[in-house]
């Protein structure tokens, strides 16, 4: 899967190739699913695990902000796949936090991570996953060098902007029917610049009730 993404130019970074080889996607998809196919997959509760090329794209966009010792937040952490990748990249001196509003997905993501190469980081506490509304971020471990949002927001939540460190970067899909993957950079003086990376299709960042009703 990783070689395929490298061959097609999706992965150009060695570090991202390495981390996606270290964290085995097969441990994070439903049993029996074709783990290495390049497509999103339903994981229950009207949620999906993103396609490998989206995981790779987001990891590459955030690579400079996932250096050892840095703090990373994964909003809508779902299966826990990207949270585990973040934890490997920031290492034991860093902090990787997942926030997910479906408690069952939080529980299953912790089980997935326990089977993965990120298990020691979960045990030592540099990696954690919490049940909560990710639109509020996770203030306890803020500010963050990297924030990833795995669901499309109608607009960028202010709490997430506030929890971004000067010099930090957030990658967030924004929109409703039509969405853009936005790259939000906060400079050293705190001002924000936003670029659109590509068109995407994510499940909405919404309330738990709306999601369980089927939006
Ligand atoms: N990166 C994850 C993506 C999962 S899909 C993965 O690849 O596994 C998006 C996730 O966002 C879903 O699990 C959904 O339950 C969650 N979500 C949607 N709105 C949310 C909110 N307000 N707070 C926290 N999680 C939310």
- Domain range annotation of the chain: 1-213
Q: Taking residues 22-41, what's their average pLDDT?
A: 94
Is 39 tagged catalytic?
no
Cα of first residue to Cα of last residue in the chain, in angstroms, is: 32
Expressed in angstroms and rounded, the spacing between residue 197 Cα and the centre of ligand 1 is 20
Nearest CA to ligand 1 atom 16: 76
Whether the CB of 105 sits within 6 Å of ligand 1: yes
Q: Residue 47 Cα, ligand 1 centroid: separation in angstroms?
A: 7
pLDDT at 215 over 80: no
Q: What is the mean pLDDT of residues 13-27?
A: 97
CATH architecture of 1-213: 3-Layer(aba) Sandwich (3.40)
pLDDT at 125 over 90: yes
pLDDT digit string, tens, across residues 139-192: 999 999 999 999 999 999 999 999 999 999 999 999 999 999 999 999 999 999
Angstrom distances, CA of residue 121 to CA of 118, 139, 167, 177, 206: 5, 20, 25, 37, 29
Strand partners, 98: 74, 129
- pTM equals 0.98
The preferred substitution site among 61, 87, 151 for testing ligand 1, maximizing ligand atoms within 8 Å of CB, is 151
């Amino acid at each position: 899967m990783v070689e395929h993404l490298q061959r097609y130019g999706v992965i150009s970074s060695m570090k991202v190739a390495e981390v996606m080889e270290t964290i085995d996607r097969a441990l994070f998809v439903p049993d029996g699913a074709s783990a290495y196919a390049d497509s999103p997959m339903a994981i229950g509760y009207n949620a999906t695990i993103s396609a490998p090329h989206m995981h790779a794209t987001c990891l590459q966009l955030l690579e400079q902000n996932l250096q050892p010792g840095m703090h990373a937040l994964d909003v809508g952490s779902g299966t826990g796949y990207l949270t585990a990748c973040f934890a490997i990249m920031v290492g034991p001196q860093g902090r990787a936090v997942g926030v997910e509003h479906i408690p069952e997905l939080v529980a299953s993501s912790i089980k997935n991570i326990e089977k993965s190469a990120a298990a020691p980081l979960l045990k030592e506490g540099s990696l954690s996953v919490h049940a909560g509304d990710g639109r509020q971020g996770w203030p306890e471990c803020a500010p963050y060098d990297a924030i990833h949002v795995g669901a499309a927001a109608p607009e960028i939540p202010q709490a997430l902007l506030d929890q971004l460190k000067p010099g930090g970067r957030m990658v967030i899909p924004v929109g409703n029917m039509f969405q853009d993957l936005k790259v939000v950079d906060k400079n050293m003086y705190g001002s924000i610049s936003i670029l659109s990376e590509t068109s995407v299709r994510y499940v909405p960042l919404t309330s738990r009730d709306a999601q369980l009703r089927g939006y």
